Homo-oligomer: A and B are copies of this chain.
Amino acid sequence: MTSLANKLCELKTRLREVSDLNSAGDVLYWDQATYMPPGGAEARGRQIALLARTAQEKFIDPAVGKLLDDLQPLAESLPFDSDDASLIRVTRREYEKAVRIPPDFLALFSEHSSAGYQAWTEARQANNFKKTIPFLEKTLDLSRRLAGFFPGYEHIADPLINFADYGMKTSTIRKIFSELSGRLVPLVQAITAQDPGDDSCLKQFFPEKQQLAFGEMVIEKFGFDFSRGRQDKTHHPFETRFSSGDVRIATRIQENDFGDGFFSTTHESGHALYEQGVDRVLEGTPLAQGASAALHESQSRTWENIVSRSRPFWEYFYPELQKTFPDQLGSVSLDTFYRAINRVSRSLIRTDADEVTYSLHVIIRFELELKMLEGALEVKNLPEAWNTAYLENLGIAPSKDSEGCMQDVHWFGGQIGGEFQGYALGNILSAQFYEEALKARPEIPLEISGGTFDALHGWLRENIYRHGSKFTAPELIERVTGKGMDIGPYIRYLWTKYGGLYRLP
């Protein structure tokens, strides 16, 4: 046993080095996205790539595999949910994944992604989809080859989905999305048959400094710990974690649109509350992060939407907001403001979409990428397929590809497949978890209307956050809700909220 204890200690030491190298890369990325002067870009790309490669080399060292083999009996002798059994189990999964992908292939893909990103930036500006075709075709080829390193899949997208959402597969998600779409399309139709409402109160001049201060005051009340984190400004909001004691968010402020910055801040704070809530004993291991992309997104959407776009929330905070912006909002009623931040409309751009239509944007992309991977849709026909899908699902189609199939960077600067599903699954899970939280702590809405969040935050920390990625998403959903993923709570949530707002039957 002493020998096993030593091996476990050695494994943890090696994993901590991998984690520290990855965190160093994350610091360099954070700096690039917040403060780095333009002249730093060239060297920075190289430096980040070097750190990623060095971390990868250390992780796929055969000595790690040997330690995992030797520790297997220990894992089997311990309870499934013990920290050490989970560490060995999850690390083995990650290790077996990592060793299958040749480092040269990773480097090639990474290089192609940079070139594709560059091409996309220029092509989108010029609204010239044609120029991206050769890049996308190569991306598709590389994505298929990447999946090919994991033979035995049911659908070619499954291995790609497993990278971000381990334990999910295409057939399950397709079924869920088909149900979800079937329930969302009529809801969108019912809502958009009404007057969408007026959100002009949000489109006034709101000085940056006060916007930032207001957002930070709110997320500190959520429970974001500023002694273990901070907020900065960036172009594309994100959350990042350097250690359990340093979890950061970056937001974007638009001085002519209050909603953009505020909901970016609360969205990213949800990711950050998750990361700050992971049990500190998991620090430096692959367990010290959220369980999956969908799980992570469920938390950002909980705090952004279920909390920050709710009526109880603004009953407390709207008077504060009016005090902060008396000229802009002093004479705007809570009702008007609440309708404005929850205005639903058929729109073209996913990242600007409201809560109701958002998942449809994601489902459209998910289906298109599956078809490309299956070989049922050629890259050159993507714009047509995109426009048709938008018309069918959202009743609106883009007049140019820069507002259509070129709007998201994902396919152009990364892989095709496996990156979109989490955004819609997160919405579903946010409502499913929130329903459980309400069963356990029915006082949550009342607390929120008093500007405190201890019950909700405490429940999430206890049931989700602290576990990090000890459990897969399906395991965690089962532990928390007693069943599998279920769209019911999300549909009920939307109908209740928007049924009221738009006086639906």
A245 touches B27 (CB 8 A): no
In the complex, how many angstroms separate the beta carbon of A420 from the nearest chain B beta carbon? 31
Supposing A23-B47, A47-B20, A51-B24 touch, asked if A40 and B226 sit within 8 A by C-beta, the answer is no
B20 touches A243 (CB 8 A): no
Contact partners of A21 in chain B: CB under 8 A: 50-51, 54
Chain A residues 1-54 with CB under 8 Å of chain B are 16-17, 20-21, 23-25, 27-28, 31, 35-44, 46-47, 50-51, 54
A245 touches B41 (CB 8 A): yes
Binds B, one of A186-194, A227-235, A423-431: A227-235
Supposing A21-B50, A24-B47, A54-B54 touch, asked if A42 and B232 sit within 8 A by C-beta, the answer is no
A50 touches B17 (CB 8 A): yes
A242 at the interface (CB under 8 A from B): yes
Interface centre among A39, A226, A242 (most CB of B within 10 A): A39
In the complex, how many angstroms separate the beta carbon of A242 from the nearest chain B beta carbon? 6
Chain A residues 224-283 with CB under 8 Å of chain B are 225-230, 232, 242-246, 283
Contact partners of A23 in chain B: CB under 8 A: 43, 47
Interface centre among A40, A44, A242 (most CB of B within 10 A): A40
Contact partners of A244 in chain B: CB under 8 A: 39, 43
Least CB separation from A21: chain B residue: B50
In the complex, how many angstroms separate the beta carbon of A35 from the nearest chain B beta carbon? 6
Task: Give the docked Cα–Cα distance between A28 and B42 (Å).
Answer: 18
Task: Give the docked Cα–Cα distance between A41 and B46 (Å).
Answer: 26
Task: Give the docked Cα–Cα distance between A25 and B40 (Å).
Answer: 15
Task: Give the docked Cα–Cα distance between A242 and B39 (Å).
Answer: 10
A37 touches B283 (CB 8 A): no
Q: Mark A273-297, 1 if CB is under 8 A from B, else 0.
A: 0000000000110000000000000
In the complex, how many angstroms separate the beta carbon of A67 from the nearest chain B beta carbon? 19
Q: A20-B43, A37-B246, A44-B243 given; name 11 further pairs at CB < 8 Å.
A: A17-B50, A21-B50, A21-B54, A24-B25, A36-B246, A39-B244, A39-B246, A40-B228, A43-B244, A43-B245, A43-B284
A37 touches B243 (CB 8 A): no
Contact partners of A50 in chain B: CB under 8 A: 17, 20-21, 24
Supposing A27-B27, A28-B27, A31-B31 touch, asked if A20 and B39 sit within 8 A by C-beta, the answer is no
Task: Give the docked Cα–Cα distance between A79 and B21 (Å).
Answer: 40
Least CB separation from A246: chain B residue: B40
Q: Which of B35, B47, B232, B242 contacts A43 (CB 8 A)?
A: B242
Contact partners of A41 in chain B: CB under 8 A: 245
Q: Mark A430-469, 1 if CB is under 8 A from B, else 0.
A: 0000000000000000000000000000000000000000
B39 touches A227 (CB 8 A): yes
B232 touches A39 (CB 8 A): no
Least CB separation from A28: chain B residue: B27
Give 9 A-B contacts (CB < 8 Å), ordered by A residue: A20-B46, A20-B50, A24-B24, A24-B25, A35-B230, A39-B243, A39-B245, A39-B246, A40-B228
Contact partners of A35 in chain B: CB under 8 A: 230, 232
Contact partners of A226 in chain B: CB under 8 A: 37
Task: Give the docked Cα–Cα distance between A365 and B144 (Å).
Answer: 66
In the complex, how many angstroms separate the beta carbon of A468 from the nearest chain B beta carbon? 15
Q: Mark A323-338, 1 if CB is under 8 A from B, else 0.
A: 0000000000000000
In the complex, how many angstroms separate the beta carbon of A396 from the nearest chain B beta carbon? 41
Supposing A27-B28, A28-B27 touch, asked if A225 and B39 sit within 8 A by C-beta, the answer is yes
Q: Which of B43, B230, B246 contacts A243 (CB 8 A)?
A: B43
Interface centre among A54, A229, A230 (most CB of B within 10 A): A54
Q: Which of B20, B28, B37 contacts A228 (CB 8 A)?
A: B37
Interface centre among A47, A228, A244 (most CB of B within 10 A): A47
B44 touches A246 (CB 8 A): yes
Q: Mark A474-505, 1 if CB is under 8 A from B, else 0.
A: 00000000000000000000000000000000
Task: Give the docked Cα–Cα distance between A24 and B31 (Å).
Answer: 11
Contact partners of A46 in chain B: CB under 8 A: 16, 20
Contact partners of A27 in chain B: CB under 8 A: 27-28, 31, 47
Task: Give the docked Cα–Cα distance between A23 and B31 (Å).
Answer: 13
Least CB separation from A54: chain B residue: B54
Least CB separation from A228: chain B residue: B39
Least CB separation from A41: chain B residue: B245
A242 touches B51 (CB 8 A): no
